[in-house]
Amino acid sequence: MEKEKRVHSSILIPYSYYSGRIPDYFPFVPLHWHREWELNVITEGNGVVRLGEKETEAKAGDIVLIQPELLHAITTDDRLFYDTVVFSSDMFGNGEDRSYRKMVHPLCLGRACLQIAEEKNVCYKEIRECADTVICCARENSAEADLLMKGELLRLLWFFYEGDLVSGNREPVQNGEIKAAIDYMSIHYAENITIADLAGQVNLSQSYFMQKFREMAGMGAAEYLNRLRIQKACEKILSGSSISGAAFDCGFRNLSNFNRQFRMMVGCTPREYRGRNVAEET
């Protein structure tokens, strides 16, 4: 669970487009957060999307709109392909007008939350049309397309409201300590990190830290750290690192433990993972 280091938006281009293919590009998307919004259109397969403290099954056709700073992750036991646009709140316009204050700002603060748009929703057709247009605009990546994208994002959010996919009047989840622990792990994952280290970083007792982390992440801190290390090792293996080098560079001190953890989380050995992805590129 980490705050992403990559830059998704700038003043000039306030969004980024990504194509996601699990397990082709990566074995899973670990729990993380960023300050931008995120739109995902699932095009193939099925999996589980974690949004904050809730896990929801997701399938082809579903549209997932994620609020800023919300912890989220994606896993699957099969395949899950999707298109993603990560964009700044600036795409919704002036933060001072009444529509922004009433309809957008509560979502940015976590005082309201969004549900996944499924095909059975009364506004799904309109939501899908808006989402597809946003994806096309992001791929085009031009000033003219940016103008159209802004309008489509406003329509998209409007149809989420019309489709009764927004629930409000909730207290924002207080998870600052957990995010701080996430950031610490994302920087120091190659080091020997203990629960005592993490709890000390956020000034919580070990027992309370473990309880709160599990509530927010759906898994223990030690399990999350192992998943983060495996994901980083996958990146290193695909970038040409040796398997043993990737293991030791990502915090594993025992190669047999690394191989065991890798197979359990990715579903194949590190060697098979590298061979499979090299074969798909040729």
CA 169, chain centre distance (Å): 24
Q: Which of 120-134, 168-182, 251-265 has the lowest mean pLDDT?
A: 168-182
- pLDDT at site 6: 57
- For the stretch 84-105, pLDDT in tens is 999 999 999 877 889 999 999 9
| Percentage, residues of the chain above pLDDT 70 | 93
For 142-172, give the DSSP string. SHHHHHHHHHHHHHHHHHHHHTT-EE---PP
- pLDDT at site 122: 97
CA separation for the pair 205, 182 (Å, rounded):
17
Give how far Cα 88 sits from Cα of 161, 162, 223, Å: 20, 23, 31
- For the stretch 32-59, pLDDT in tens is 999 999 999 999 999 999 998 889 999 9
Q: How confident is the model at residue 10 (pLDDT cuts 50, 70, 90)?
A: confident
Across 248-271, average pLDDT = 94
pTM for this predicted structure = 0.83
Of 16, 266, 247, which Cα lies nearest the Cα of 141?
16
- pLDDT at site 282: 46
